[in-house]
Amino acid sequence: SWCLPILIGLRDIAKCDEHDSVILTGIKKKLTHQLNERFQLDELKVNSCAILSTALDPRFRKLAFLTSQQWDELHEILVDKANSKCSSSSLDKPLVKKKKKSMLDRLLGEDRKSK
């Protein structure tokens, strides 16, 4: 469940900036290309094992890399899976404590709902 958020965090950090030198821009472009080519980050499906395992890990409730539409689709998939396993679902009220922003939070992105 750690792999996907870290890979997407690395890809986001490697985005080129107008203040980057020519060498740094080349390194960032190569890194981004290799990450996308090797892990197909641009072609992830919401029902993929990587996204489902990340969504079920309480450390990654944010999933900031998903769009609102993808988030809604993922939520529907998880609710359907939970409902098929039990008669009543308590997924409507997730228990998440607010805590100080760690370096890992900064790497993985902001909370999707706070945007």
CA 48 to chain centroid, in Å, comes to 12
Check if the beta carbon of residue 25 is closer than 8 Å to that of residue 51: no
The pLDDT tens digits for 32-91 are 999 999 988 888 888 888 888 888 888 887 788 888 888 899 989 988 888 887 654 454
pTM: 0.58
Q: To the nearest 10°, the Cα dihedral for 91, 93, 94, 96? A: 180
pLDDT band at 31 (very low <50, low <70, confident <90, very high): very high
